[in-house]
Structure formats: structure tokens, C-alpha cells
Chain A
Amino acid sequence: MSSLALHAEKGRPVRTSLIRQYIPLLPPGLILLLFFAIPMGMMMGLSFQPKGAEAASLANYGRFFTDDFTLIGLGRTVLMSGLVAICVTVMAYPVAYFLARSRSPWRAVVFALAIAPELAGVVLRTYGWLIILEDHGFINNALLWLGVISEPLPLAKNMFGVVVGLTHVILPFGVLSLLTSLQGVDPNLEKSAQILGASRLSVIRHIVLPLTVPGIVSSMLLAFTMSASAYATPAILGGAGFKVLATMVYEQVLFYVDWSFAAVMANVLLVMMLIVAFIGSRLEMRLHKKLHF
């Protein structure tokens, strides 16, 4: 009897809590539906309605995938985002490791410096880089004055300038992402390995790196997706010949007023990012297994 009573008591609250569990999800769910899912659906629909045409067609997708100019733009987007993802993760890792393990009084200062780039707007920071990198900028002027170079180095209006600018913009996100992952690794594991005779390098190679693979992958994915959709930095630091999908979408919307083709480009960008995210998560699982066992 008591077991029956218990069953009844158990059964009802479970159902109620299931409903209650979903209630808090309603407001964000509705907001996402209204302001994300529906506009995304509209954009998908728009991509099949070429400008000036009556009937829906795949013409704009055909145009995208047969034009070398747009394909080069897609390739440039992938290359730029990949380089930024690597630079951000490689540069953020030592900073995040210091922040996670150090007890130095400078820790707070380093943390403040690491997230400081986020305090200024992206356009402001990017113009700052332009002043430093352009032909008559700080670096080139200093090198010319010192007689190290006779012609300005091509530091801006190209891939190099954009990767530098984006790495600076996205670095704090990489640091925060890796910091969370590193803080999840028990410091006693490292101490134990060192007590057993492992060198510092060996500890990092065999203990810390394998345990922070999820953090490394999420930092790279975050940096990749943020770079692929960034507009201001490629537009300002890239120059006239540097077209990536985000700047091409902007031109199609505002200058050519061809929203349908812009929607195609945006959809290609979205699918490309989803593919990279999928590959990233698979890679994370594989590396996690490989490095653990």
C-alpha cells in the first residue's frame, strides 16, 4: 500500500515538473521564434525569388556557384576565418593558462588587459589598427625613418591586416572560452604528474592539452564564426580587392539593392558555418578519445 501511495505521489509531481520545466523556456522560445526563426525563414524564401523575376527559382544559387568572383569570396572567407581561429586560440591559450593557474598579484591586471579590447567599439579599434598598419602608418613610418625599409611594407588593405584586426577583436572571447575549460582541470593532476617526475612541458602535452580539447575546439569555433560574419574589420582593413561574404552581402543589400542574391550569400555563409561547427564537434569527440586513452 505504501508503495502504491509512493508511486502516486511520485507520478504526479513528475508530470507537473515536466510542464513547469518548459514554462521558463516559453518567453525566450517565443522571442527566438518571432525575431530569429521567422526572419530566417523569410530570408530562405527570399533567396529563391530572384530580383525582377515572377517565379521562384534556383537561379541565384546557380549564379553564386558558377561565378568565380563569389566563389573566391567564399574561399577567402573560409581562409580568413580559419587563420583568425588559429591565431586567437594560440595567443589566448597562454593568457588563459596564466589566469587559471597563477596566484600572482598581476593576475587581475592581466585579466583586465585581456578583456580590455572589448571596452572600445569594433570600428574604433579597427581604425586604430589602420593608423598603425597603413602605408604611412606608425610601423611603416618608424621603419622608414630608421632606414630598415625603403618602401612601405604591405601591412594593411590585405589579408594580413584583416587577420591582425580580427584577432585583436576576438581574442577576449578566446581567452574567456579557454579559461573556463582550464579552470575545469583539477590542478592536482598536474601536481601529481610532476611529483611522479614529468617535466613541465610533458605535463602540458599529456595532461593539460588533452583535458582542454573541448575548450580549444570551442575557442576555434567561436573565433571562426565571429570572423566569418564580421563586417567592419574586413571592410576597413581589407581594401577594395578584399571581398568576403559579409562585405558582399552588405553591398548587395545597400548598393545593388538585390536582396535576393544577398539572401543567397547569407544562406551560404550560414551553411558554411554549420558545416564547420559539425566538423568541429566531431573532431572534438575524436581528439578527446584519442588523447585520453
Chain B
Amino acid sequence: MKLAFLAASAVTLSSVVTLAHGQDLIVNSYGGPYEQIIQEAIIKPFEEQYGVRVIYDAVGSSQQDYAKIKATNGRPGFDVVVMTASQSLEGCREGLLEPMSAETVPNLAHLNPAISAVAGPCGAVHEIQYLSLLYRTDKLAEAPTSWKDLFNEELADRIILPTFANIMAAYLTQVMSSVHGGDLNHNIDPGFEAMARLAAQAVGFEQASAILESYIADGRVWAMPFWDGRAQLLVDSGAPVDYILPEEGSVPLIATLNVPAGADNKELALQFVNFFLEKTSQESWVQSYKVGSARPDIEVTDEARARKITTQADLDALLLPDLDALSANLADWGMRWEREVVPAAR
């Protein structure tokens, strides 16, 4: 009798837990300013519209989140995750991420097709940043205009570079290759030669973006490559810095929303992805997190229009790397970086 009562209680309790869990959407993304902005701009409006609760999980970088998805075979314990186009492609190939289409996520139809294609069928592009050149306005005599300005003598020992474990390093090498007569994907040698020369100008390498930006914020370095979204946040913080999209162009960091293949709340997760891609959500995200969008039909302030990727022309001007080729070359490039670039800094 006692056993039957216990069993009945356990069944009731587990169904209550399942029900409560079923109404919660677990979104995994970043902490810090990102968390505050996403809560206000996206999560609260979504909760109000759908009458659900979003549990925000800020633990882990996108690399750690992807490792968790891989280790759990697509059941990492969160329903939506913010990653990059490279991880979307790889996760899709391995069957770890849920494919999306205009049927399940109608707003995908409004995204720029070329950018969407880069991320593949499992990634919904919700944000685009470009690699900008961030500099100290109070230290440089003239504002830079080109990637080649990083090699100027006045910047000797006044540059900080990312380590290769920060994907910014590979993108920067590709840009430098393109600027110095090579290309993004195959003829990369000019990029490594340029990076070795640039490393000789550098005070060192750091992996985390937060540490990289501390170098320019306190004046130890006067210029560095940086993603434009965080660069804008630094400008807004009042630091004597500014950033440019160099005249030779730049590569994008394509951020994606992904749903793990074994997510508990797949349907609600796809609704969240669709909500994030709504015109109003994208406008709100571009203006609050200071990034670009793959939706060319959004309406934003003139300031955002001038500095962020918000139009078809902006999207067309981007240098788009072949992410499959990048993924295939990454290990070799990593070794070349350690042999050719890192020693040049000493």
C-alpha cells in the first residue's frame, strides 16, 4: 500500500515537473552586457507574447556549448543556443543540430540568401559583425583608413593580436591575405607573411575579447582588430577610441541561433528563433547590441545605418570566406600560426 502510494506520488510529481519544464524555454548564450541587452530587447517581449518563461543560461562560450552538444549527442539541456556559422555547418553535418526551413521558421525567407547559405540549413543568422580596425583617437595623429595602416612605424609595440584559438585570428589572416595579393581560401601565404610582420609590431597575443579590449582601453596599445559590435560598445562607454571598416573591405562574423537535435522544447525553440528574426526584433537588436543584421528590410537610425551592416549593399560588399574550406584548413593554419606568426612577436 505504502509502495503504491509512493509510486503514485512519484508519477504525479514527475508529470508536474515535465509540465512545468515543458513551458520553460532554456536559451544558452553569453553573459555580461550581452545578457542584459538580450533580456530587454528579445527575451522579455518573447515571454510576454507567448506567455512562457525563458531560462537564460549564460554558462560557456560558443565553443564550450558546441562541445557540450557534441558530447551529449544533441541533448545538451538547452533548447536554443547562440553559436557561429562554422559551428552551425559542422553540427548540421554531424546531425547534432535541427535543420530549419521557411516552413518551421518563416522569417528565414527575409534573410539575405547568400549570408543564410554560408550558415547552412541548421543556423538562423540573427546577427552580423564585421572585423573592424579599432584605434585610439587620442594617440594616433591621423585616423587609419586601411588594414595596411597597422604596419605604420608609430604602431610599433602598440598592437595586440588574438591567439589562434580565437577565430578572429584566422579571419584576420584571410583579410591580410586578400589585402596583400592572396585570397581568402586557397592562396593564404601572403596572409601569413603579413601576419608575421604584424606580429613583430605586437606586444603579444590574448585569447579572450574582454582581455584584448582592456589593452586598448587602458592605452597599452593604440590599435587592434576587433569585431565592430564590441568596438561600438567600447566607444559608447566613453573610451577615447573609434573604429573603421577599412577600405579594402572586411570579413563578417556570422552569429547564428541553433536548436540542438534533441532539444526538449523544439517547437517553442523554433518559435523563439522566428521571433528573433522578426523585423521589429532585428531592429531592436541592431540598435541595442550595435551589430548588423542579415535582414536588409529593417529600419534603423541613421547612425546605425552608417556604421553597421544593415543594407543589401553592405552585405554585398563583405568578403565571404568559404567556411567549409576554413574548417578543413584550420588545423594546418593553426600550426602555421604557431610556427610563423607567434615566434615573430618575440
Contact = CB atoms under 8 A, between A and B. Distances in A.
Interface string B124-145: 0000000000000000000000
Nearest to A256: B331
Interface residues of A, number: 16
Given A69-B339, A241-B342, A257 B205 contact: no
B163 interface: yes
Contact of B338 (A69, A136, A157, A255): A69
B205 A239 contact: yes
A255 B63 contact: yes
Given A241-B343, A251-B165, A69 B330 contact: no
A243 B163 CA distance: 12
Main secondary structure of the interface of A (DSSP, over half): loop
A255 B343 CA distance: 21
Given A256-B330, A256-B334, A239 B220 contact: no
Nearest to A73: B338
B70 A136 contact: no
Given A69-B338, A69-B339, A258 B205 contact: no
Contacts of A257: 66-67, 70, 90
A69 B165 contact: no
Interface string B314-346: 000000000000000011001100110011011
Given A69-B338, A240-B163, A241-B342, A258 B331 contact: yes
Contacts of A259: 70
B204 A254 contact: no
A77 to B, nearest CB: 16
B342 A253 contact: no
A157 B70 CA distance: 32
A86 B343 CA distance: 29
B49 interface: no
Nearest to B63: A254
A74 to B, nearest CB: 15
Nearest to B170: A255
B64 A254 contact: yes
A157 B204 contact: yes
Contact of A240 (B63, B204, B220, B330): B204
A241 B346 CA distance: 9
A239 B64 contact: no
Interface in A60-99: 67, 69
A240 B205 contact: yes
Interface string B42-61: 00000000000000000001
A88 B164 CA distance: 33
A69 B204 contact: no
B217 to A, nearest CB: 14
Contacts of A243: 338
B345 A240 contact: yes
Contacts of A254: 61, 63-64, 66-67, 165
A157 B66 CA distance: 29
Interface string A226-269: 00000000000001110100000001011111110000000000
Interface string B87-119: 000100000000000000000000000000000
A254 B163 CA distance: 14
Nearest to A258: B331
Nearest to B166: A255
B30 to A, nearest CB: 15
Contacts of B335: 67, 69
B211 to A, nearest CB: 10
Nearest to B330: A256
A168 to B, nearest CB: 21
A193 B335 CA distance: 60
Interface in A198-250: 239-241, 243
Contacts of A241: 338, 342-343, 345-346
Contacts of B330: 255-256
Nearest to B328: A52
Contacts of B206: 240
Nearest to A252: B331
A257 to B, nearest CB: 7
A125 to B, nearest CB: 18
By CB atoms of chain A within 10 A, which of B339, B345, B346 has the most? B346
B43 to A, nearest CB: 27
A39 to B, nearest CB: 11
Nearest to B331: A256
B326 to A, nearest CB: 12
B296 to A, nearest CB: 32
Contacts of B164: 255
Interface string B67-79: 1001000000000
Contacts of A258: 331
5 contacts: A69-B339, A241-B342, A241-B346, A255-B165, A256-B331
Given A69-B339, A257-B90, 7 more contacts: A240-B163, A240-B342, A241-B345, A241-B346, A254-B63, A255-B63, A255-B334
Interface of A: 67, 69, 136, 157, 239-241, 243, 251, 253-259
Shortest 4 CB-CB distances between A and B: which pairs?
A240-B205, A254-B63, A255-B165, A241-B342
